[in-house]
Amino acid sequence: MKIGLATLAMGRPSKLTPETRAQAEILANVGFTDQLIAEALEVHVSTIHRWKKREPEFAQSLAHAKLLADSQVAEALYRSAVGYDSHHTIVLMGKNGPVKSVITKHHPPCVRACIFWLINRLPEKWSRNPKPRPPRGEDLARLSE
């Protein structure tokens, strides 16, 4: 059997198929990192990086999916920090049979979520170990005296 140069240059077929693309996007959308996506697809993480470099559309779809996952977590953290109400439908047995009723449950703010949010969003005001700010002009004059 003769093997031409074109066949040798092609190498083995890529595992990046429409199915693996879809699976990678689903995994990214639920918070998987490139490393975890690689493990799920049974490839090395460098393969994921190579695919993203070679196919910008693939890289963009993963970035978009990860952004959606991150924004959902950020929204949940925010709701936990400020508190929220949730509505639930319950079924009670009345005189004439089942009766649906909507109840509202209040979830008060979570102090730990508040602290986490403030330390990360406003570290100069809330961090336990704030990074020293560079002195401003007036501070420099005071220091030189």
The domains of the chain, with CATH numbers, are 14-93+100-130 (1.10.10)
What pLDDT, on a 0 to 100 scale, did the predictor assign at position 28? 96
Decide: residue 77, CB within 10 A, 0-12 exposed, 13-18 middle, 19+ buried.
middle
CA separation for the pair 2, 51 (Å, rounded): 30
Query: Helices marked H in the chain — which ranges?
Result: 5-10, 18-29, 34-41, 45-54, 56-82, 111-121, 123-126, 137-144
Q: Report the mean per-residue pLDDT for the chain.
A: 87
Share of the chain above pLDDT 90, in %: 71
How far is CA 109 from each of CA 50, 62, 73, 106, 123, rounded to the nearest angstrom? 44, 33, 16, 10, 20
What pLDDT, on a 0 to 100 scale, did the predictor assign at position 127? 85
Half-sphere exposure of 104 (CA within 13 A, CB side): 4
Bridge partners of 25? none
Kindly indicate the confidence band of residue 102, based on its pLDDT and cuts at 50, 70 and 90. very high
Kindly indicate the confidence band of residue 80, based on its pLDDT and cuts at 50, 70 and 90. very high
CA separation for the pair 49, 107 (Å, rounded): 41
CA separation for the pair 117, 115 (Å, rounded): 5
| Residues 17-73 pLDDT 10s | 999 999 999 999 999 999 999 999 999 999 999 999 999 999 999 999 999 999 999
What pLDDT, on a 0 to 100 scale, did the predictor assign at position 4? 46
